[in-house]
Chain A
Amino acid sequence: MKITIRAALLGLVFAVLAATAAHAASDALKGMIYDTGPLKATDSKLKVRVGEQAPDFTLKSVSGKMVSLSDYKGKSNVVISFIPAAWTPVCSDQWPGYALAQDVFKKNDAVVLGISTDNIPTLYAWTSQMNGVWFPVLSDFWPHGEVARKYGVLRSDGTADRTILIVDKKGRIRYIGLHSINTRPPLEEIIKELERIR
């Protein structure tokens, strides 16, 4: 009984702490974001390194088209953006920023491939709510997290770690940024790396 009371009290403490976490979410997603509270910063072990050939993959996009990394070989640099989950605080204000920076990515001969382990209907609803994005949004839902696992960014709960990889036109990995799941990677970090390889 005592243990039950203590467990309930502890649960209450954590619930209140989670509810009071500071945020400034977009009005576009007001009332729709599931607050996960602070999570373990990273929970995966990278299987790729800078300088290696990026493992190829083919995933279905929200538009229904199948997209492969190799589609861009010899044509564009590719910024692969793994995000943990749709409808969560940090992820929901990461890709709209990349949407705004379309011209900057274009200037650096780069496309963005957004990848999440969510399913297509979820990603469709989520990206529609953010007014859509110009780049392909790919679902790594089934086999669950196969691409995230291949790159070594799959977390133990089936989501992906917040990771940015930059792949050049030859298909080589030029940059890997494994970021805390609780924070948004600064845009300038990505742009600076793109400018270096241009």
Chain B
Amino acid sequence: MRRTFTAGLGMLSLLLVLFAAPLGAQDSREEHLRALNSLSLYTPEGAGERHYLGLKNAPEKITLGQIDAEVLIVEIFSMYCPHCQRHAPDAEKLYRALDSREEFRNKIKMIGIGIGNSPYEVGLFREKYALSFPLFDDRSSTVVGSLSGIYTPHYFGLKMKDGSIREIFYSKSGAFPDAEAFLEMIVEESGIQRGGNS
């Protein structure tokens, strides 16, 4: 009996070590891809945000794959995070840089997700920094429960196809220093076609 108990604990420990071992970059991207595709988020209420994301008649909750874009830039932020607060004006610069580039405006879109933040907290963050890109809240704590090993702010670059996220081509914690350079990097790494208006 004692031997069985000890052996059982040994097996449990081994399994936990195997599954909890630090994930390599590729492993964590695959895990994050699964997590991001499974997220169910409350659709922003603003008509402008819905129009921008192609969610005009969307239900109360959506998955990220429903957003109408070829490439989606996702900033994971928290209202409570000092670096996110300091970085907010640069995040807005990135959105404006994207909006000013007609060739990419409808192909590359940008959202923010307030991890662990309520609608009130996300609203306060938006108002404080006059952010004009769509922000999602995490009122059900589904995001904080599923995205492990990231620090805020964290940026994901996602390739979208056929109603789901096909690939994470960029994933990094920390703020970027220059919005224009960051956008160029996203364009390059996503391999999105330059030129054209739509």
Contacts and interface: CB of A to CB of B under 8 A. Distances in A.
Interface of A: 2, 5-6, 9-10, 12-13, 16-17, 19-20, 22-28, 30, 93-94, 96-97, 99-101, 103-104, 130-131, 184, 186-188, 191
A186 B118 contact: yes
A22 B6 contact: no
Given A5-B6, A9-B6, A100-B124, A27 B81 contact: yes
B82 A186 contact: no
Interface residues on B, range: 35 or more
A27 B175 contact: yes
A2 to B, nearest CB: 6
B108 interface: no
Nearest to A130: B82
Contacts of B2: 2
Contacts of B20: 16, 19-20
B144 A22 contact: yes
14 contacts: A2-B6, A5-B6, A16-B13, A24-B116, A24-B154, A26-B81, A27-B153, A27-B174, A30-B173, A93-B81, A96-B82, A184-B80, A186-B121, A188-B121
B76 interface: yes
Contact of B118 (A24, A28, A103, A188): A188
Interface stretch (B50-58, B83-91, B184-192): B83-91
What are the 5 A-B residue pairs with the smallest beta carbon separation, nearest first?
Answer: A26-B81, A188-B120, A93-B80, A97-B80, A9-B9
A26 B121 contact: no
Given A22-B148, A24-B144, A131-B86, A100 B79 contact: yes
Chain A residues touching B, majority SS: helix
Interface in B1-32: 2, 5-6, 9-10, 12-13, 16-17, 20
Contacts of A10: 9
B150 A24 contact: yes
Nearest to A31: B151
Interface string B64-96: 000000000000101111111110000000000
B48 interface: no
B147 interface: yes
B194 interface: no
A103 B125 CA distance: 12
Nearest to A95: B80
A27 B13 contact: no
A34 B46 CA distance: 40
Contacts of B81: 26-28, 93, 96
Interface in B135-158: 144-148, 150-154
A6 B125 CA distance: 49
A20 to B, nearest CB: 4
Contact of B151 (A16, A22, A26, A97): A26
Given A9-B10, A26-B80, A184-B80, A97 B121 contact: yes
A22 B147 CA distance: 8
A26 B78 contact: yes
Nearest to A19: B20
Given A6-B9, A100-B124, A24 B16 contact: no
A24 B115 contact: yes
A22 B142 CA distance: 11
Find the residue from A24, A104, A187 having the highest chain B CB count within 10 A: A24
Contacts of B173: 27, 30
